[in-house]
Amino acid sequence: MGELFANVIVDISHERVDRPFQYRVPERLRERISAGSPVLIPFGAGNRLRKGYVVELTDRAEFDPARIKELSDLDENGYNAASQLISLAWWMKERYGSTMNQALKTVLPVREKIRPMEKKTIRSCLTEKERKEQLVLAEKKHYRARVRLFSALTDMEEVPYELAVRQLKLTPAALKSMEEKGWIRVERESVYRNPVKQQKEKEQKILLNGEQRKAVDAFCRDYRAGHPGIYLLHGITGSGKTEVYMEMMEEVLRDGKQVIVLIPEIALTYQTVMRFYRRFGQRVSVINSRLSKGERYDQFERARKGEIQVMIGPRSALFTPFEHLGLIVIDEEQEGAYKSELAPRYHAREAAARRAEMAGAGLVLGSATPSLESYSRAIKGEYRLLTLTERAKKDSRLAETEIVDLREELKAGNRSIFSRKLQELMDDRLKKGEQIMLFINRRGYSSFVSCRSCGEALKCPHCDVSLTYHRSGMLKCHYCGYEIPMPDRCPSCGSPYIAGFGTGTQKIEEMTRQLFPQARILRMDADTTGGKEGHEEILSAFYQGEADILVGTQMIVKGHDFPRVTLVGVLAADISLHAPDYACGERTFQILTQAAGRAGRGNAAGNVVIQTYMPEHYSIQAAARQDYEEFYEKEMAYRRMLHYPPALGLLVIQAASPKEEEVIRAGEKMRRMAEEDPAGRSGEKAPEITGPLEAPVYKVNDIYRKILYIKHENYDILLRIRKKIEELELPVMLSFDLQ
Ligand code: ADP
Ligand code: ZN
Ligand code: ZN
């Protein structure tokens, strides 16, 4: 056996992680050392012993082996959160294909500069009566941030300063002026050190219903027995999943352990965050992508020191350095945002499973529309399935849903974007003073072409995905490279009315105004909102009844609770069915189910109108009935038939280079390497290989890109092929995506 070397980083909080030092691993430690191991190393000229972490093991010496020092020992007492995170980084590098450096930068918070941390807390100085008066006054004047703070102070004795600024959106200036008026008091660290921070117990503790209880008990039993597993909590919208998470969290926190809650950024509204604060008070911290690196680092430091026990945030909150992690919750686990777009292209669900396993923690995935991936694992018994089938609030019912066939509307002479049914219901709701949401499903928008007469989208004859319109006037398939010139008539029915789909939110807003001039309309899409701050302003204005109709894209249907909405109109449900990728049926089902779940959250029953050119499609049918199992069966059958994940594993490799001939050569070499894999000869199936194909946009900024698709039911074989391809050391940039 050759020599083994360890790359070691010294004290992660101060050094840059991309500057590891290499040491020789002595024979006696070989068996016990791995990525993440805390070690003692002789450091510097004086060879003083210092603590470090192994980030990588290799048989390759970086310089003259004779000059490489030997590491002194394993630091058996040094295992901590950092060790686990480094070991997680190693796993991510292996699993997703990236450099160790990229993986480390993903999991370790890097300190920018040292700033003193100050903890500030806001308390009310008003009597309950005075506070109510101020609340009413603020509501009248539409001081929304102030309303939020006063209502928060009604629920809680004190509000963390950072919560007020980040989630309730009060500016420091506004807080200062309120303090000067004598309404509130901002307390600094020294005043506030009392660890007993009990919230007013006035928060009525919700009594869980039978299904919720069962779900919580299933987790608690395993947890107490010392082997919590992975759970998929499948519950329809409004079934009380959040209450279930919180009850499970309670159990873990009682035990002195810590919890990470992942929530997609778009659903991380103050409404949501406040529910956790109300229940767990000062033990909670929140991060989001608007925080600077330094601010995020501060929150992670507080977690590491044990000052907080619950971290809530998007994907990156997974790397909170808790020492005694007991539970990870991933809400809306099907969300695409849980997958990183940058190398390592990890999926938070998989990385969370890995982290939970290392920490001996439980993992709870929650969704009304679980990903196919998770549901199929649950069915196979890899995850434990927990189900909530009823709405938690007694008086809340599922909305009545109707599918409208837009081809029929055209035939009947209705050229408006609103079906007759939808117009009628909108009229009714406006008269009653109830709220309406109009939703346009705009994903994959405009790049596909469809027929207004028969509703057919132009598809690839080989791949069952929509062809994409290119400015050159060609229609292309991104999976197999098939292409045809743009026809002037529909190939199915001969109608000349074929075109790209082109109705945006702005157009819908205009048309709504024409039809209902008296209605107050708000619009929310990427253009109106000016970043995430804007989203919340619009949503909260709508929540407070400042408009009758909210028009928007998918961002309006995620995780918001509007009790006064009794009508949801989905204007073109099938747009997302034509996105050029195999998961578009799944996304359509998810988004429609979410949209339908928005109506009738309060006391009044709701209506949902789904307008579509493809009323018979199972994604639309199943969403209208809120029938997940039906959807799952059909979609899985489709994936199995066409060999798409999760029926098979799919490895996508992209090669990129400014030199076209290099990309072409690399593509061929990669393909050969995949073909040479011994799987086919050793009794296993040979991998299915497609490509190399040109990327959807072949040349970007003078960089050419080719993509190779490799499928196999055994992930290990795909990992083996990826490793082999990495080892070719091709003169191109490679990126890997394993689905
Ligand atoms: P989900 O996360 O599944 O959409 P939530 O946890 O947000 O559902 O619950 C929906 C609503 O029902 C919330 O207003 C919540 O307070 C309420 N709720 C949840 N569980 C119960 C229960 N057992 N009894 C009464 N109300 C409940
Ligand atoms: Zn047609
Ligand atoms: Zn094709």
| One domain, residues 634 and 563 | yes
| One domain, residues 514 and 482 | no
Task: Tell me the CA–centroid distance for residue 655 and ligand 3, in Å.
Answer: 20
Domain-terminating residue out of 486, 501, 516: 501
| One domain, residues 125 and 265 | no
Q: Which two tokens stand for residue 651?
A: 């490895």
From atom 25 of ligand 1, which residue's Cα is the shortest distance away?
393
Pocket test for ligand 1, best of 212, 213, 242 (most atoms within 8 A of CB): 242
Question: Containing domain of residue 571, as a range?
Answer: 400-443+504-640
The candidate with the shortest Cα–Cα distance to 6, out of 76, 87, 62, is 62
The candidate with the shortest Cα–Cα distance to 19, out of 49, 52, 58, is 52
- Residues 506, 486 contacting (CB under 8 angstroms): no
Q: How many domains is the chain partitioned into structurally?
A: 6
* 395 in a structural domain: no
Which CATH number covers residue 50?
A: 3.40.1440.60
| One domain, residues 232 and 355 | yes
**What's residue 190's pLDDT?**
41
Domain-terminating residue out of 620, 640, 660: 640
* 112 in a structural domain: no
Which CATH number covers residue 684?
A: 3.30.70.600
| One domain, residues 483 and 540 | no
Task: Tell me the CA–centroid distance for residue 712 and ligand 3, in Å.
Answer: 19
Find the ligand nearest to 462 CA: 3
| One domain, residues 550 and 409 | yes
| One domain, residues 368 and 256 | yes
Q: Which tens digits make up the pLDDT trace of 240-296?
A: 999 999 999 999 999 999 999 999 987 887 778 888 988 998 899 998 877 777 778
Task: Tell me the CA–centroid distance for residue 448 and ligand 2, in Å.
Answer: 14
Taking the CA of residue 388 as reference, the ligand 1 atom at the shortest distance is: 3
Give yes or no for residue 340 CB within 6 A of ligand 1: no
The strand pairing partners of 498, in sequence order, are 451
The 8 Å CB, 24+ separation contacts for 160-164 are: 160/119, 160/120, 160/121, 160/122, 160/277, 160/282, 161/119, 161/120, 161/121, 161/122, 161/186, 162/120, 162/285, 163/273, 163/277, 163/286, 164/122
* 292 in a structural domain: yes
Helix (H) or strand (E) segment spanning residue 506: helix 505-515
- Residues 310, 259 contacting (CB under 8 angstroms): yes
Pocket test for ligand 1, best of 203, 209, 214, 243 (most atoms within 8 A of CB): 243
* 594 in a structural domain: yes
Give yes or no for residue 241 CB within 6 A of ligand 1: yes
Taking the CA of residue 235 as reference, the ligand 1 atom at the shortest distance is: 3
Find the ligand nearest to 690 CA: 3
Q: Which two tokens stand for residue 57?
A: 């093991």
Task: Tell me the CA–centroid distance for residue 325 and ligand 2, in Å.
Answer: 57
* 529 in a structural domain: yes
Give yes or no for residue 243 CB within 6 A of ligand 1: yes
**What's residue 191's pLDDT?**
34
| One domain, residues 92 and 129 | no
The candidate with the shortest Cα–Cα distance to 539, out of 278, 269, 288, 165, is 269
**What's residue 198's pLDDT?**
41
- Residues 6, 22 contacting (CB under 8 angstroms): yes
**What's residue 11's pLDDT?**
66
| One domain, residues 694 and 574 | no
From atom 23 of ligand 1, which residue's Cα is the shortest distance away?
208
* 302 in a structural domain: yes
| One domain, residues 618 and 565 | yes
Task: Tell me the CA–centroid distance for residue 392 and ligand 1, in Å.
Answer: 5
Give the pTM. 0.82
| One domain, residues 13 and 125 | no
Task: Tell me the CA–centroid distance for residue 400 and ligand 1, in Å.
Answer: 20
Taking the CA of residue 237 as reference, the ligand 1 atom at the shortest distance is: 4
* 198 in a structural domain: no
* 196 in a structural domain: no
Give yes or no for residue 594 CB within 6 A of ligand 1: no
Task: Tell me the CA–centroid distance for residue 15 and ligand 3, in Å.
Answer: 49
Task: Tell me the CA–centroid distance for residue 493 and ligand 2, in Å.
Answer: 4
| One domain, residues 251 and 281 | yes
Q: Which tens digits make up the pLDDT trace of 407-419?
A: 898 888 887 889 9
The candidate with the shortest Cα–Cα distance to 208, out of 26, 17, 388, is 388
Query: At what angle are helices 81-92 and 348-359 packed, to 10 degrees?
Result: 140
Taking the CA of residue 559 as reference, the ligand 1 atom at the shortest distance is: 4
Which CATH number covers residue 220?
A: 3.40.50.300
Helix (H, G, I), strand (E, B) or coil at 438: strand
Pocket test for ligand 1, best of 333, 364, 393, 601 (most atoms within 8 A of CB): 393
Residue that is written with structure tokens 């290799």 in the block: 58
Give yes or no for residue 240 CB within 6 A of ligand 1: yes
**Which stretches of the chain score pLDDT less than 70?**
1, 11-18, 110-118, 189-204, 395-396, 441-448, 463-465, 470-472, 478-479, 499-504, 526-533, 558-560, 579-580, 600-604, 697, 700-701
